[in-house]
Amino acid sequence: MKKQLANIITSARIIGAVVLFFFKDVNGAFLCIYAFCGLTDLIDGPVARKTQSESSAGALLDTVGDIATYVALAKILLSKHLVPSWVLCWYIPAAVSILCSGFIAFARFRHFFVIHSLFGKLMGLTAFLMPFALRFGIIIPCFVAMCVTATVSAIETAVITVKSEDPEHDAASIAGMIIKNR
């Protein structure tokens, strides 16, 4: 049971994300469940490391949880026409580039994975803050931050995936990879 705790936590986030799909607006209940999803995202990785239960399946489950949570949020933002077209034109290519790095990883290492890079985590943080930014009327600066971090993450992920001999374990950032190779 202790070895499965991280995956249980991640699965709880996925269930929370599924519940978020039923909301039509960003209200108090949505924010509570969304915050729960964010909290479980923060703790599943450290729990996996602490219990020495890190696995490719767990990393994939974590990615599914991230995608499910953000798709549920995007559903509301898009249905309410709160996403400017420039955000979609900027963010979607960056997100697709990050996904393409997973296919590059598959071609190089014979299994699909997406690096959880430093800027990928920053992108996740800005995306996580989106509904709170909406409530406080600062969503445009949050969109800008998300698009910038997504762009840098796409570049960072591609470089690490292409250049590193063990990108899943080598470095969480380009800077880390450069320092390690000195």
Nearest to 77 by CA among 88, 62, 61: 88
Which pLDDT does position 95 carry in this prediction? 87
- pLDDT averaged per 10 residues, the chain (length 182): 87 96 94 95 91 86 89 91 92 90 89 81 89 92 94 89 73 61 58
Q: In whole angstroms, how far apart are CA 15 and each of 5, 64, 68, 170? A: 15, 11, 9, 31
Nearest to 121 by CA among 146, 143, 89: 146
Which pLDDT does position 87 carry in this prediction? 93
Which pLDDT does position 57 carry in this prediction? 84
pLDDT digits (tens, 9 = 90+) for 39-57: 999 899 899 989 998 887 8
Whole-prediction pTM value? 0.77
